[in-house]
Amino acid sequence: METAMHPNADNLLASRFDTVIYDLDGTLIDSARDMCVAVSRVLADHGLPPITDQDARIFMGQGSKITMGKAFAKNGRTLDDIALSAATREFVRYYEADPVSNTVAFDGVAEVVARFSRLGLRQGVCTNKFERPARIILEHLKLMPPITDVAGADTFPVRKPDPRHILMLLERMGGTPERAVMIGDSIHDAEAAHRAGIPAILVSWGYTARPARELGADDVIDRFDALPDALNRLAAR
């Protein structure tokens, strides 16, 4: 349910920020089950047992190749770069064939994204997932629009935690670091944002082995509908 707020609070938020950049997996969406299914299909092809949804949550965040490397390593298998690249391509084929069956937006996401749209804020996604499945998911969940742009792992020559991943997306959207904020769930989101000169708010329920409150963010929220209040706290500083 959307938090009731005084119009002055929204005015403060919109005077400080004009662009909100979100991470995707673990921040806006719970995609662990669909990721787990696709990873486990690749493992089965290699004669290995499946991973769990919780494994998927911990292995995700740095891109598909690192996810696959961790999944094989859990089974005591180390792949060289050529084999790992091939396994990653297998994963992408499986995942892109069905990235949405078990994937949902977290509670409050649709309402907050709609509210920010009404305030005239630009909204984009910066994710280490490939751009095509990210767009498919956002459109399927009716989050795009109001989210208008996506930078995936394959969109630019860099990816998080490289700050240029965020900065290049911002530039393409017509935003500036001075009036932007990053919303994520991991150390890679916080590091990329801070290196880009942008404040970072992390969610406490995300896909990270370390608790969000230990990752140096400017604020941490426990519910997505707490995001407007968190942005107002930042705006008031």
- The tens digit of pLDDT for each residue in 99-150 reads 999 999 999 999 999 999 999 999 999 999 999 999 999 999 999 999 999 9
* Of residues 170, 101, 168, 100, the one with CA closest to residue 135: 100
Q: Which residues participate in catalysis according to the annotation?
A: 23
Secondary structure of 11-54 in HEC code, one letter for each residue? HHHHHHCCEEEECCECCCEECHHHHHHHHHHHHHHCCCCCCCHH
Joined together, the tokens standing for residue 110 give: 């649709």
Q: Tell me the pLDDT tens digit for each residue of 150-191.
A: 999 999 999 999 999 999 999 999 999 999 999 999 999 999
The CA-based dihedral angle spanning residues 162, 166, 172, 177, taken in that order and rounded to the nearest 10 degrees: -120
Strands 200-203 and 180-184: parallel
Phi/psi at 60 (5° precision): -80, 165
Mean pLDDT of 33-60: 94
* Of residues 25, 236, 232, 233, the one with CA closest to residue 119: 232
pLDDT of residue 201: 98
pLDDT of residue 4: 47
* Of residues 230, 114, 223, the one with CA closest to residue 181: 230
Query: Which alpha helices (H) appear in 98-221, and where do they start and end?
Result: 109-118, 131-140, 163-173, 187-195
Cα distance between residue 136 and residue 155, in whole Å: 15
pLDDT of residue 6: 57
Instruction: With a cut of 50, say whether residue 225 has pLDDT above it.
Output: yes
pTM: 0.91
- Give Cβ neighbours of residue 211 (< 8 Å, ≥ 6 apart): 204
